[in-house]
Structure 1
């Protein structure tokens, strides 16, 4: 029997809308809930560069050793403690029609029943003239790494509606996500593509319509409706990252080893990550994005009391408390990455306004309300690099 929920969704305020409120005491480190996404998809450039992931749950398909060899460009590398690798290739399966890879028959069959039947090209080798292949190629030419979105997440969303036995139920779930105004939707859609590609939305819409038109959601294929889809994934999409190497490292940390062996292993891992950083930089994971019905309800705070985790190294997301939380307290996560959290109030507000279209009034921002309206030096350096 599943553990009872320790949070419930309540109306927080007119500006925030809904959010999570603790209804029972929550201890630091406790997982508040776990959930599978409504839809999830690996980023296209990530897959193009051979970051192999299950096409459904995004579980990494390379062994830890294969992953490490590719990332540090050392094809003779041997990882110690192979028993710490969780990958079992004997369970892998492929779509018999298009050869897309899955970590198991369960994922293959689930994907087929949910969306893949509509997206399967029925071809064992890629045909560049197939509407879906053309759509992906157009997207890759518009949206270069670092990736923040994926046109195939939109495609899977449409295909999920197309194949749903209860289409109203899917549409009802989607209606509960964060909503924006028409002008904001246009702003988000353009930001996802980049200013230089704003005119390409119609090109994407035309090819998406050609590949996947669905009468149930006819409005999605209008210019306004297509903007709405991009706004939906822009404001509610959650990044997903998986790595067989990270899982191997975590399992190695749990080994009970003599102190000298532990020091040797730790030195090996440190050197491995140094080599990977030199060769691959920060691009170490299989990466994608997903829409989660529950997780998307969590509001932002610059001083959060919870964080998003992926406890099973696949697309299952969890919310974990980062401190003790009392009944009646709102449970918040931080929408900013680790580097952005340390920036000035002005910089944090700028990032949140541009990416999520709201002004933060968390306790940290209120405490720093009197600080000078100055951009953090880190952000200024980033802007200079981009220009």
Structure 2
């Protein structure tokens, strides 16, 4: 697979694919942008009132509404309302199930790709606690509390895409291109979604998913081995997505040409709002979910990456950007861990990567620290492993 200035290649059986530059990229230069094959908001994130388009995850709150809710300041007023990009007048809802979209275009795209099947499946009292899809989602939530890294509802949309697609072989082939190892036999490690503590829950989850979603085209996804494989696909390949009406407003305001006194006032206001948000919601600032991206999934990890994933449009469109100069024929690597995790010890990084992504990292940084003691960083916590984080 070749793009403008890069190429996806098979490296070897263990690493699989990789992305390589065909030209020089300067620091800060965009390498590519990409829409997801499919994406979905996290279950708890939606439960807690983070309002996002059901198709592209664009915020449905205005920047002011978003800031009021997260800062716990119902009377907060933001200046420069023209810098808010949420268009409330464009928001539409499905007349049958009530899910909301940022625009009629997003609603139509959703309907044509996957929503028709899901909407039909949930048309009989979708809010009822006894509905199979509701019970499936609730069961997943009880297995995976925040910070979330995956959602079973992404599988629901994958099944729907297969069901609605006229070329089922093509869409199944697309999903088949994603890594789906439940275990790495060479390293004797298994994905953390499939650990021993989840054995009984996974069997229950599989039966519930089969009852709610199973159809002939994807019957192999609901065998015991097939279900573990599909969970591994979601957990390993799911790229974290974060969108925020307030952060987009901040970016737009920061681009304004303002007198020095006005700039100081607005900067102080922004700092104060972020401080208030920290007190109320901590680090949970964004509409959060995950998506499957064909190109991004081919990018390998490095603890000293030369590229970064961003979501500059505050929707599910991903941008891969160089964080330093990249030479022709150099592999383009991202970090699967957040900045904080990258500063931890080699042992802590390896622990997170083996649990979430089933490999032992051998990047230049890890090799240079090979003689470091196998000790966990003081601030390391298993619960901090939150997968492919995003940079807003």
Instruction: Note whether the superposition's TM-score is higher than 0.5.
Output: yes
Paired residue for 1:26?
Answer: 25
Q: 1:84 to 1:193 in 2, by over 3 A?
A: farther
Paired residue for 1:155?
Answer: 156
Paired residue for 1:236?
Answer: 237
Say if 1:188 and 1:230, in contact at 8 Å, map to a contact too: no
Paired residue for 1:134?
Answer: 135
Say if 1:99 and 1:124, in contact at 8 Å, map to a contact too: no
Q: Give the C-alpha shift of residue 123 in structure 1.
A: 5.7
SS of 1:27's equivalent in the other structure is: coil
Q: Within the alignment, does 1:91 sit opposite 2:90 as a pair? A: yes
Say if 2:183 and 2:358, in contact at 8 Å, map to a contact too: no
Paired residue for 2:313?
Answer: 312
Q: Within the alignment, does 1:43 sit opposite 2:42 as a pair? A: yes
CA–CA separation in structure 1 for the residues paired with 2:127 and 2:197: 29
Paired residue for 1:174?
Answer: 175
Say if 1:188 and 1:234, in contact at 8 Å, map to a contact too: no
Say if 2:125 and 2:131, in contact at 8 Å, map to a contact too: no
TM-score normalized with structure 1 length: 0.93
Q: 1:131 to 1:385 in 2, by over 3 A?
A: closer
Q: Give the C-alpha shift of residue 225 in structure 1.
A: 0.7
Larger deviation, residues 249-258 vs 135-144: 135-144
SS of 1:248's equivalent in the other structure is: helix
SS of 1:300's equivalent in the other structure is: coil
Q: 1:385 to 1:250 in 2, by over 3 A?
A: closer
Paired residue for 2:78?
Answer: 79
Q: Give the C-alpha shift of residue 142 in structure 1.
A: 2.0
Q: Within the alignment, does 1:334 sit opposite 2:335 as a pair? A: yes
Say if 2:181 and 2:232, in contact at 8 Å, map to a contact too: yes
Paired residue for 1:279?
Answer: 280
Once superposed, what is the RMSD of the aligned Cα atoms?
Answer: 2.1
Paired residue for 1:8?
Answer: 7
Residue segments in structure 2 that go unaligned for 5+ positions in a row = 386-392
Paired residue for 2:224?
Answer: 223
Residue segments in structure 1 that go unaligned for 5+ positions in a row = none
Paired residue for 1:117?
Answer: 116
**Equivalenced residues, count:** 380
TM-score normalized with structure 2 length: 0.92
